[in-house]
Structure formats: C-alpha cells, structure tokens
Amino acid sequence: MMVYGLLSLRGLRTTATLVPVAAGMAMASGGIYAQESGLESSSERTVTIEPRVSITETLTDNVNLSSASKKSALITEVSPGIRMNIAGARLKGYFDYALNQILYSEGASPNRSQNALNTFGTLEAIDNWAFIDLSGSISQQAVSAFGTQSIDNTSVNANRTEVSNYRISPYVRGRLGDWASYDARYSRAVTNTDAAGTSGFTTVDGVVNFKGDSAFTKLGWSADVSQQRVDFNAGRATDADRFSLGLFYSITPQLKVSANAGREANNYTTLDKQNFSTSGVGVDWSPSEMTRLSASRDRRSFGDAHRLSFEHRTARTAWRFSDIKDASATPNQTVVGSLGSIYDLLYSQFASLEPNPTARAQLVNAFLLANGISPNAVVVSSFLTSALSLQRRQDLSFALLGVRDTITFIATKSESSRLDTVSTGVDDFNRSDVVRQRGFSVNYAHRLTPDFSLGVLASQQRTSGVSSLQDSTIRFLNVSITGKVGKQATVSVGVRHVISRGTSPYVENAITANLIVRF
C-alpha cells in the first residue's frame, strides 16, 4: 500500500519557503475572522498579539572564544519581535518571531543578523475529521559536536550556523462504524542550514493506524502501515516501509499491555531494500492524573529499539524522565513545536492551577519572565549530520516551585552512531564511529521583591568520541537580576563565566544588560 507514493518529492525549496508563510497567514486570517465575527468573549480573547523590542548590551573579554588571542568587545543586540497566541474554534496555535541584529564594536567582527522562530498551529479544516498541523523553527546550533561550543549566539564562532525546520502535516481521524477508529497522516518536513558544506534534508512520512474492539470487553486490536523517506542534500535518500498487527489488553482501567508483530523493509545499510521481521511489547500505566508511565520495546532491522517515559507531579514538584533508542536524522534536536523542556515541565505542573490551555500558556510565560528563567534551555547541543543515525537519548527534568524560590534541573545523556553505512555524506561520524554527549543544567530563581528576582544558572556539557583527543567539556555559570520596570518593560543585568576544555579550550567572562519592552 503506497501511502504517499503519488505525492511528488520535488519543490523542496518552495515548501521550505511557503510553510512558515502559510502558518503565519493562517494564524493571522483566523484571528481576523474571530475578531470580526464577534467570537471573542469578555473572559477570553481569541487572538492576542504582542509586539516587543529587546536591546541587549554585552561586554565580553573573549568575543572570538580563543585561548591564545583573546579579543574584547562591546556587542549590541537589537531584536524586534512579535508573539501571537490563537485560541479560535478552528485554529489554535502560537507564532513567535524575532530578528536579531548584532552590532560589534570596531574591529571585533562584521555586524550580522539572526532569525529566531518558533511556531505551531492546528487547523480544524472539517469538523471532527480533517486537520492540518503547521510548525516551524529557526535557531542557532553547532555544526560539529567536536568543534568549538559556545553559550551565547553573539560570540564569533565558525562552528555555529542558522538552522531552519518547517513541517506541514494534514491528517484525518474518525470511526468505521462501531468496530474501529482510524487515523491517517501525511507529513513533510524540511531542514535547511546556512553553513557551507553541511547537509539539509527532507523527511516525508505517511502513516495509517486502525484501532478496534473485540468481542471481549478488555481486548482490542490495532493495525499500522507506514512509509518514510529521508533525503539528505549532501548524502542519499533512505526509505523504510512498515506494517504491523497488534493486540492490547486492559488489565485494569489504569493498566494496559500490548504486543505487535509485522514486517519492515528498508535500505538503511544496503543500496536496495531488505525485508525484516519485527515484533514488540508495551505497557501503559496511569494510576492517577498525577502519574503516567509508558514503556515499549521493539525488535527492528538494526536491533532493539525502545521508548520509556515517566511523568509525576505533586502540588509543588514536577518530574519527567524519558529513554528513547531509535533511528534519527537530527541527533539531540528539539522537537519542532516544542517550547523547551522547562516550559513543558511547568506547563504540566500548572495544569491543576489552570485547566484552560491558552490561559495556562500565558501563566507559564508570565512565571518564566518574572523569574528570569529561559524556557528553552539546551543541555546538550545538537549537531549536523548527512545520514541517518542510531541514537539513544535519556532525559531527566525536575522542577520545584516554592513560595519565593524555584529550582529547575535538566540532565541529558546521548549516544549516536551512523546507521546508514552506505552513505558517503561527510559529518562527525567520518571522524568518530560514535558521538557521546552528556550534560546538566540547574537554575535557581529567588524572588527578591514582588517585581525583582535573582537567578543563578549553572550548566555543563561533555562530548567524547572514539579518541581521547576528541573529548571536550564546557562549563557555564550565570548570575542575573531580573525585574519589571513599569507595566510593559522588563530589565535584567547579569554576569557569566565560561570555561571550555579539550578540543577548543578558552575562558570567557562577560557582563550583560537587557531591556525588553512589550507593546
């Protein structure tokens, strides 16, 4: 069965251009429609638009991140931006974009600009049946895991580049009478980079799922069909087709077990597709609304794959742990449409305070801003690849919310190796068969007054390969004071200390001052 066989793989540049534009246009048009038709109630606004301007001054003693020829510089960063939240009847989502213009003191570096985008939206095209997901992100990330790592995007670092990700995914879901439900989804994702010699790629997925009941109340069945193509600009295209049949059994309303078996055909390690048998087992346990556990293990063509997730929250704490091993095109990259680990953690924690998703998102953003906490803190940086890789990644996050004190903790451990051994693409796996990364980040925020807070952030990342010469460690400490000035402005002043050891050693100290005005 060809899920997307009739759909062309051409026009990748057009897709990359149109997806974010379409997302912004859809959100804007949805907001205009909601406002003009009077759907906005007195208690909740359907569309909120918040323009802003951010100005940051950074005085650093090592703008070029060098151990031998340090260069001091004063850096001015002017960042106009806009945030849009939409909670319409058919369209829900957010759009956040900023254009960062970076100006260096004379002789430090040529001035440059950077884009920052995070957007996600879901459009209900046909009532309770057809939907479209649109998402996009633009961020700065490392080209190589073994190159110079930097904390700040304004540092002069040839190992940093701008990466954009756009995704469009229409899908339908419904029921086939009283005996089964179905979900059919097509998605196209495009990733592009600005770095010369690095590889962008396109991923096309088609998935059809069926779930049904049996004559036995607690027993159900499932059938899944999927196709995927990942095409690297500087590598080759790989294809994978999968089909599986499964059974699931509800031991109790809170505990469900499942098993599946099927076939897989892919060309991960050969020029032509090879066929393999697959099988898997899983368990889902939700003893309460505060605790959830999900685990699965599958036998795949490349060996065992698994997925484990655990979430638990109390009145003042939130815990998350995940352990995933699977094929990946983007090692350690944040999921498009995610606002970051800290944001997701607090969003879950605030569920008991505010059940409405839109109001809760505003509550989380206000809390992060008031306490000077970055919502999308990255513990382990992603890096660019030119072929499919096999990755195991473990993530642990924790948040403790006190009356005046907040502590957040994130830890990540990952191990990646090349899965597509046929590809001739050039990346870090040409230098090392395996890339290991682990790191942690601790953020402490203390409320000094109703308007001002003290923040302390400490983080560490370690990277290693097959050779000890590829080992590196970067440590970062930042102390800042953040507060409100009037109703629309937020200011922060901070100092940071960075130590990098190993492949690219350097030490940097900097003083920063930031002003954000929202309109």
**What is the number of domains present in the chain?**
1
Q: Tell me the residue ranges of DSSP E strands in 156-218.
A: 160-176, 180-193, 201-213
Residue 392 lies in a domain: yes
Q: Which pTM does this prediction carry?
A: 0.85
Alpha carbon distance 280, 304 (integer Å)? 9
Residue 353: which domain range? 12-518
Q: Is residue 81 part of a domain?
A: yes
Residue 6 lies in a domain: no
Q: Which residues contact 175 (CB under 8 A, 6 or more apart)?
A: 181, 182
For residue 293, is it within any domain? Answer: yes
CA angle in degrees (0–180, nearest 5) for 120-192-95: 20
Q: How far is 30 from 21, CA to CA, in rounded Å?
A: 14
**Eight-class DSSP state of 107:** T
What is the full per-residue pLDDT of the chain (519 aa) written as tens digits?
Answer: 333 333 333 333 333 443 444 444 444 444 434 443 344 443 456 889 999 999 999 999 999 999 988 999 999 999 999 999 898 889 999 899 999 999 999 777 899 999 999 899 999 999 999 999 999 999 998 999 999 999 999 999 999 999 999 999 999 999 998 889 999 999 999 999 987 766 789 999 999 999 998 767 789 999 999 999 999 988 899 999 999 999 999 999 999 999 999 999 999 999 999 999 999 999 999 999 899 999 999 999 999 999 999 999 998 898 999 999 999 877 655 444 444 567 777 777 777 677 777 677 777 877 777 776 766 666 788 888 889 999 999 999 888 988 899 998 989 999 999 999 898 888 899 999 999 999 999 999 999 999 999 999 999 999 999 998 899 999 999 999 999 998 899 999 999 999 999 988 999 999 999 999 999
Angle, CA of 329, 327 and 384, to the nearest 5°: 25
Residue 1 falls inside a structural domain: no
Is residue 235 in some structural domain? Answer: yes
Q: Is residue 455 part of a domain?
A: yes
Residue 239 has φ and ψ, to the nearest 5°, of: -125, 145
- CATH number of the domain within which 289 lies: 2.40.170
User: Residue 470: inside a domain, yes or no?
Assistant: yes
DSSP 8-state assignment for residue 428: G
Residue 87 in contact with residue 73, Cβ under 8 Å?
no
125 Cα distance to chain centroid: 26
Q: Tell me, what amino acid is at 288?
A: S
Residue recorded with tokens 């040409």: 430
Three-class SS of 125-165 = EECCCEEEEEEEEEEEEECCCCCCCCCCCCCCCCCEEEEEE
